[in-house]
Each structure stands twice: as C-alpha cells, then as structure tokens.
Amino acid sequence: MLFNSIDFAIFLPIVFILYWFVTQHNLKLQNLVIVLASYVFYGWWDWKFLSLILFSTIVDYTIGLGLKTAITPISRKTLLATSILINLGFLGFFKYYNFFQENFVAAFSFFGNPIQANTLDIILPIGISFYTFQTLSYTIDVYRKQLEPTKGFIAFSAFVCFFPQLVAGPIERATHLLPQFYKKRTFNYTAATDGLRQILWGLFKKIVIADTCAEYANTIFNNSETYTGSTLIIGALFFTFQIYGDFSGYSDIAIGTSRLFGFNLNRNFAYPYFSRDIAEFWRRWHISLSTWFRDYLYIPLGGSKGGVGMKIRNTFIIFIVSGFWHGANWTFIIWGALNALYFLPLLLLGMNRNNLGPIAAHRFFPSIREIIKMTITFGLTVLAWIFFRADTVQHAVQYITEIASSSVFTFPQVFPKKVFLLIILFMGVEWLGRTTEHALAGIPKIPTLFRWSIYSILTAVILYYAGNEQQFIYFQF
C-alpha cells in the first residue's frame, strides 16, 4: 500500500478510529490493532511475503528470550550468530543471490574457464532491508545487555512490523521504539496536528517535487546517449532532488503518521543539501541507516581510534557496505567507495566534525564561505548520485564523460522552467525551516489566516500534481 494512494487515504482513518475509539485505550488491544493493520498494509502488496516478517519476528523474539537465560559466552554468541545468519541469510538470498552468481560466472569466464549457471527469478520483498536491520538491532542490543528481552509477543510483533515505517524506514532501534509499545498512550492533539503538517509536507515532497523531477530524470538517464553534457547535468540535478524528495518525503509521512498514534520515530533527514562538507551530509542523510552502520559495524571494527591504516580500512568498509545495502549492482558499490573518498580527507585531517550545527543558525543568509562550501558539497553529491542512478558502471562513466565534453557549454535540450521554479520554492521553504524538525514545524507561530492559507495552497498543489500512483524509490532497496 502506497502512502500516496487512495487506498491509504481510506486505510489510515479506519485504523485511527479502531486504535483510539474501539480499543478504549487498552494497551494490548492497541498493539494488536497495529499488528493487524501492519499486516494488512504490507499484505496489500503481496500477502505471501508476510510469512517472512512473521518468521523473522518469531526467530528474534525466541532468541531474545534465549539470551536472557543463556549463561556461558559460547551459548550467547551462538544465539546471536543464529539471528544474524538467519536474517542476513534471507536478505542475502532475495537481494544478492543473482548478483553473486552472475559475478561468479563472469570471474570464471574472465580466466578462460566459462561455466553455465542459470539465475533465479527472485522477487525482492519490499522493505526486507529495513525490517531485517530493525530486528537485528533488537537481538544485538539484548546480547550487549543494553536492553531487556521482551516477553510480550504482540508488542514485539508491533515493533517489527509497525506499518508507518515498515517498508522504507526510518530504521528504528529496539531501545528507542520497543519501550513505546509498553507505555500507556493517550491522544496528544499538539503532536497529532504537527504530525499532519509533516505528512502534508512529505506528500508535497513526493508528489510535487520527486515525481515531477522523476519524469525528466528518467527520460534523460534512459536516453543519455542522445543528450548534450549540459542536458545531462539537468538530468543529474533532477535525480538529486527526486531521490531527496522521494525518500525524505516517505520518512516525513512515516514520522507524521506515527505521531497520530502516539509514537515518536527518530528523525531520518535534516536538510542534507545545506551541508558544508560530506561528513555533515552523512550526519543529515538517511540518519537511521548511517547511525546503524556506525554503531553495529564501524565502532566494533575499531572506528576511528586506530592508526591511519585502520581509519582508511574502516571508512571504506562502512561506505561500501552501505552502498551494497542499497542494491546488488556495482554502481552502488562505487557510489559508496566514492563517498568514502570524499569523507577520508576530512577524517584524516580531524575536520569531520567541524559543522555540527545548522548552517547560518542565527542569520537569514549564509556567508560567502558557507555558500562556497555548500556548493562544493552539493556538487560532489550530485556527481556521486550519477553512479547511484545509472544502470551500469559503463553507463555512469559515459554519462560523466559527456558532461566533461565541450557539449556542456551548449544550452540544455531539456530545460523545464516550471520544475526549476518548484525546486527553488521548495528549497526556500526548507531553508526557512532548517533549524526545525521539519519544514512546516514553525507554521503555528504565524497568524491563523496565513497558516491555513499555506495548508490550502499546499493541498491544492498536491492534488493538482497527483496522478498516477508512483512507488517510492527506496521500495526497491
């Protein structure tokens, strides 16, 4: 079920009424409503894959209880390894089986020993990368004794399959989200209305910005050999705003929806395109995944405490794994490695934590120095996104090569002024709200008439651009 669909527009009020009015604030019934609603939400796409979520839930729930009673280190490590192997095993099979098989065959052919092997027609279950990491966080935290294992299967099931963030995050830690299923929840009008504002802004990002940019980005990338370098830059820019509007829009809707039900999800985006260096960008982009890899992979490997060699090794590992997490394609791996190259100089020079606060926090306009830094960071990000979007490494190289040619100095063959105007207005609103949780968070401070005028305009624009329901980009990851 898509957030930007009529189905969800009907589904959400029904669940809201059942949750707040039918359950009579009974905590167990509320959790049960969430589980049933989440299974309907996910099963709307393909009910057969509900068994995967249920199996993963049972495995990690059982292992969590086992970790509580296990005494010896070897038994605890065995339980943890079982959880990791089962969860990553399913993820690896569905997401990476064909990739490894194709590269295995290619390697043998390269050395003059061609072999025959057929790939499997595997359908990637939507959201498997997200809920797999979420359940793993529970097992790992229980193993580390940072969290007491839960005895409530319904509450744990609700944590695993919580429908607002089930398909594309944010990836919630068990230490943050799971305890919320054990606390009595009462309707909070202020939180709910702010949640609706965030949902509205998320829908604007997805339907108006992302889907509009996608139309031109797809045309240019899919026919890149016919366009000039200047036009390819336009395509890369449009994809840059497409992926941000699409993914951060999903996160906004997820976070806003969760607030309607009395839950607080972690922030997943913090205006990343206003970053002054790549390190700041990664503190602001897909925060839940970045921090997951930091806490469960980077720090256990030694983090940045070792020598130069260890810092370089760990940086490349975390970025390449992050790239590979996104998909079974060498383009994602190179995208990750490229970001590691961007990040390394900052880390080695001790400059990776220079920009921790929002840009121009107490000023309306940034300084010239900040504008230059922001522009360079944005340019590097756009370049990396080309690999992320390209079908193959060769496609990405050809795309960049044409940008570097003399045709870059010609007027673009595609130059939709209305789309550029939308992007400018969109980023203007984001700039005004850059110190808040989301771009519309500060609206309650303005007079009622202007506030409702903004809501009405945004709603009208969303309805105007709403047409075909388009999936979110991160569904494929």
- pLDDT bracket for residue 177 (50, 70, 90): very high
- pLDDT bracket for residue 3 (50, 70, 90): confident
Per the annotation, the verdict on 326 as an active-site residue is: yes
Provide the 10 A C-beta neighbour count for residue 333.
20
Give the closest residue to 290 by CA, choosing from 171, 439, 468, 425.
Answer: 171
Position 388 scores a pLDDT of 96
Q: What is the mean pLDDT of residues 367-374?
A: 96
pLDDT over 80 at 365, yes or no: yes
Q: Please state the pTM of the whole predicted model.
A: 0.93
Q: What is the mean pLDDT of residues 65-85?
A: 93
Alpha helix positions (H), 204-307: 211-222, 229-260, 278-284, 287-293
Candidate list 326, 362, 395, 438, residue with the active-site label: 326
pLDDT over 80 at 117, yes or no: no
Q: What is the mean pLDDT of residues 183-197?
A: 94
Q: What is the rounded (10 degree) CA torsion for 271, 274, 275, 278? A: 90
pLDDT over 70 at 366, yes or no: yes
Spatial separation of the C-alpha atoms in residues 343 and 280, rounded to whole Å = 10
How many Cα atoms sit within 13 Å of 209 on the Cβ side?
30
- pLDDT bracket for residue 156 (50, 70, 90): very high
pLDDT over 80 at 371, yes or no: yes
- Contacts of 42-51 with C-beta under 8 Å, sequence gap 24+, read 42/1, 42/126, 42/127, 42/161, 42/163, 42/166, 42/167, 44/1, 44/7, 45/1, 45/126, 46/123, 46/125, 46/126, 49/125, 49/126
**DSSP assignment, residue 206?**
I
Q: For 195-253, write each residue's pLDDT tens digit.
A: 999 999 999 999 999 999 999 999 999 999 999 999 999 999 999 999 999 999 999 99
Q: For 258-301, write each residue's pLDDT tens digit.
A: 999 999 999 999 999 999 999 999 999 999 999 999 999 999 99
Position 444 scores a pLDDT of 86
Spatial separation of the C-alpha atoms in residues 387 and 408, rounded to whole Å = 19
Per DSSP, the three-state class of 354 is coil
Q: For 36-52, write each residue's pLDDT tens digit.
A: 999 999 998 888 889 99
